[in-house]
Amino acid sequence: MKHSPAWDLARLVYEPMQVTDLADVVAVEQSVYPHPWTRTNFADSLKNGYQAWVLRNPARELLGYFLVMGVVDEAHLLNVAVAAPWQGQGLGRFLLNQSAACARGLGMESMLLEVRPSNVRALEIYRRYGFTEIGRRKGYYPAANGTREDAIVMRIAL
């Protein structure tokens, strides 16, 4: 079911991710990624103090989230997702804007991410946003039948 893309951003709830959000976050993660992060991955990120934010609608449904880790002067966008029913409505761009703002707030000069070559939709979103490919990580991601998939490494100046 498609929802109206005319978001009233003032009515959306954008707040730091808490341990109490993890059940919803993991449910979205499992529904949108073939090889999702585990609850432990998210819990460890929170414990390590990474920037982790959730976006909810007024009914408190989880629309999306992201996690950013600062390393020296470069942020690493570790994970970003929009729940499947809400994709294609500009929320991914909103979350990218917020992750970049977070990174700038940490004093970062650029932001890096990895993406699967097979994730054509995400690649297009990142390219349109301004990320450029800077390299590849061979065999970075688990893939079907015990194989591995490369990661495209992308960066954007902040």
Which residues define the annotated binding site? 80-82, 119
The verdict on whether 74 is a catalytic residue reads no
Tell me which of 33, 61, 114, 140 is the catalytic residue.
114
Tell me which of 29, 50, 65, 126 is the catalytic residue.
126
Closest CA to 64 of 38, 34, 93, 40: 93
Binding-site residue numbers for acetyl-CoA are 80-82, 119
Answer yes or no: are the C-beta atoms of 45 and 77 closer than 8 Å: no
82 CB-near residues (< 8 Å, 6+ apart):
32, 63, 64, 91, 92, 95
The verdict on whether 126 is a catalytic residue reads yes
By annotation, the residues acting in catalysis are: 114, 126
